[in-house]
Amino acid sequence: MTVSCFKIYVACQSMLIVLVGAVPDYHIDQEGIPASRAELAKRIHFADNFTSIVTEWYLIEQEAYKVSLASSLFFAGLLIGNITFGPLSDKLGRKPVYISGSLTNLTFAVGIAVYALLGYCVREWRYLALVSNTPGIFFLLLSFMLPESPRWLYSQGKMAEAEDVLQYIALGNGKERLNLKLKPSTGALRKDESAPGILNLVKHPVLRWRTIILMYIWYACSFVYYGLTLNAGELRGNLYLNVALSGLVEVPAFPLCMFFIEKSWSGRRKTMTSFLVFAGLACIFTMVLPTNAGLLLSPTLLALCGKMMVSAAFNIVYIYTSELYPTVLRNAGLGVCSMSCRFGGILAPFVPSMKSLSPSVPFVVFGISGLSAGFLTLLLPETLNKPIAESIEDVQSPKYQVLKNEEAEQTG
């Protein structure tokens, strides 16, 4: 429950610039752009329904890039956090660094809608930023009440502590106290051993090829997802409704992708390919629709459909990636892909500003990214109902895979 609420807070942080940096309707007296900011302040007239950093510091025309830069720096901070706190979580534990990972993307989508409601109620941008950031103090204090990951404690040889946490979880689930005694794992690394390093991802041809493709897919998912999310403020219609819908449209994406990836006729690869391709097509088709079209054919509706599709693909890529890497390199593979994902978030805020070239340019950029990532997914193997490799040798040995498949069929 705590982690789910924390995801809502994270969603508000990710979406903060959409309302805090929103550009209201404005007009400038006389033609041309004033040479100085003081002159601009005298000649510009903003709509007075809300305030933002744009109305505060006149971030329009040549200064508009600063809004996109602020959003980009947020994702750059996430990239730094990935590089810094990922290794720390293995040394210090999951809880001290960040509460054992994310629970689900579903609460993140709800968080976007919650932020839209906050923005509707709080129109002054400073107060909105204050309200959105204050819960962070509460979650910081609350995090100390959460137990450490029992799996991490077990991997560190802290059997007694792991047993205590498992007892705590069992009692919290309404179970009776268990007579639990963990045995040391025979497959655990000794202190004088080290797990295969990140260089193994590029050293071996099979893993190198998978890593390159997956890095681009993660980048594209992030690029299109955050691009369409941040672009919600640029769509026609009510600003707050568009932001809320951009979050709520993700809610059906989660059960939808979970349904398809477990079917033998679709699996992981075909499902993710389909969602990415549909997301790309939805973005590209917005350029051929008139802005005054009906609701069923409006560019806004297509953009929301594209957001739902790429959100479903984003959910699948976490599962698919973890199954494509052997156990000994799974954390390294997910870490590298997660870092490439952040580069997509860094670039995404600048794409909506390309509408100055043509209103359809941002959607074409997102569409091409989605389509290319979708087709590249077809180059990866299917993992549904397939044995997961434990070592690097398992990935490289076709004979091993054949034996494993036969074993799976016999036991299944």
Question: For residue 393, which of 209, 211, 196, 210 has the smallest C-alpha distance?
Answer: 196
**Which of 351, 389, 398 shows the shortest CA–CA distance to 370?**
351
The percentage of residues in the chain with a pLDDT greater than 70, rounded to a whole number, is 78
Q: Return the SS3 of 195.
A: coil
What is the helix (H) or strand (E) element at residue 45, kind and residue range? strand 44-46
- Judged by average pLDDT, the poorest of 104-108, 143-147, 157-161, 401-405 is 401-405
Distance of alpha carbon 285 from the chain centroid:
24
Summarize pLDDT for 272-287 with one digit per residue, the tens.
999 999 999 999 988 7
Distance CA 279, CA 96 (A): 37
C-alpha span between 345 and 335 (Å, rounded) = 16
Cα–Cα nearest to 185, from 148, 218, 141, 152 = 152
List phi, psi (to 5°) of 142.
Answer: -70, -30
H or E segment and range at residue 317:
helix 299-324
The number of CA neighbours under 13 Å toward the Cβ of 23 is 21
Domain boundaries, the chain: 1-146, 147-182, 197-412
Q: Are 231 and 303 in contact (CB under 8 A)?
A: yes
Got the DSSP string for 124-159? SHHHHHHHHHTHHHHHHHHHTTSPPPHHHHHHTT-H
Query: For the whole model, what pTM was predicted?
Result: 0.78
Q: What is the mean pLDDT of residues 38-60?
A: 79
Q: Which CATH class is domain 197-412?
A: mainly alpha
What pLDDT sits at residue 224? Answer: 95
Residues 6+ apart with CB under 8 A from 296: none
For 103-155, how does the pLDDT look when each residue is reduced to its tens digit (9 = 90+)? 456 788 888 999 999 999 998 989 999 998 888 777 777 766 777 777 667 76
- Structure tokens, 65: 């890039």
